[in-house]
Structure 1
Amino acid sequence: MESMTRKRRNFTPEYKREAARLVIDTGRTIKGVADEIGVKPQTLGRWVEAERQATQPAKRRTVEELEAENARLAKELYEARKDNEFLGKAASFFAQRRQDRSGLN
């Protein structure tokens, strides 16, 4: 009985980039290029998406956006510290109650 498993093919990063560039630069469909080079359209689609993300310039944020994020993070940190303080006090309270109960029995 023959084995139905196929050996998985590995592609170099350069090959993946070149295949993705065929779609991006020529405007051809992913399916058309995939059929031509012998890979599944889903595989080539992932390569195209990765190449598009890799070639997009990083979005620069404005000073106002950075200041707003900094204020949001400072508030979040303050609230987390207050929650942590409260939880510490609650844990101490319940530990003391448990200890008091154990001492009475």
Structure 2
Amino acid sequence: MNQRRKFTEDFKQEAAAQVIERGYLIKEVANHLGISDKTLYNWVNRFRVPSNERDTQDDLTAENRCLRAELRRMTEERDILKKATAYFARESE
């Protein structure tokens, strides 16, 4: 079973710095650190952006994640209410 590993921001920054500042290949660094190429590629793209813009992007991403969760919850509530309305409409006939 695949377990999702959590990495610290410092680890991510250092891994990305090996590619950005030191010029190592993404594949080499990823293999050395035991992470996927795609993961490191995402970190490199993230840390190439200046920190103030990155903070704004992170805030927007977090807000988007919260709004999607709220929308999912509200959709479930709506569906439950629709079913309840249909049930009680049949009962009253």
TM-score normalised by structure 1 residue count: 0.46
**Partner in structure 1 of residue 49 of structure 2:** 53
Report % sequence identity.
Answer: 40
1:38 CA displacement: 0.5
**1:37 equivalent among 33, 36, 59:** 33
2-side partners of 1:26 and 1:56: how far apart?
23
Q: What's the secondary structure of 2:50's corresponding residue?
A: helix
Q: Which has the larger radius of gyration?
A: 1
Distance 1:27 1:51, change over 3 A: same
2-side partners of 1:17 and 1:8: how far apart?
19
**Partner in structure 1 of residue 68 of structure 2:** none
2-side partners of 1:28 and 1:55: how far apart?
22
Stretches of structure 1 lacking an aligned partner (at least 5 in a row): 58-105
**Partner in structure 2 of residue 19 of structure 1:** 15
Within a 5 Å distance, the mapping from 1:1-105 to structure 2 comes to: 5-54=1-50
Q: Aligned-pair RMSD on alpha carbons?
A: 1.9
**Partner in structure 2 of residue 94 of structure 1:** none
Runs of 4+ in structure 1 displaced over 4 angstroms? none
1-side partners of 2:5 and 2:45: how far apart?
20
2-side partners of 1:56 and 1:27: how far apart?
24
Deviations 1:57-76 (A, max 9, x none): 9xxxxxxxxxxxxxxxxxxx
1:54 CA displacement: 2.7
1:44 CA displacement: 0.1
Count of paired positions:
53
Distance 1:6 1:48, change over 3 A: same
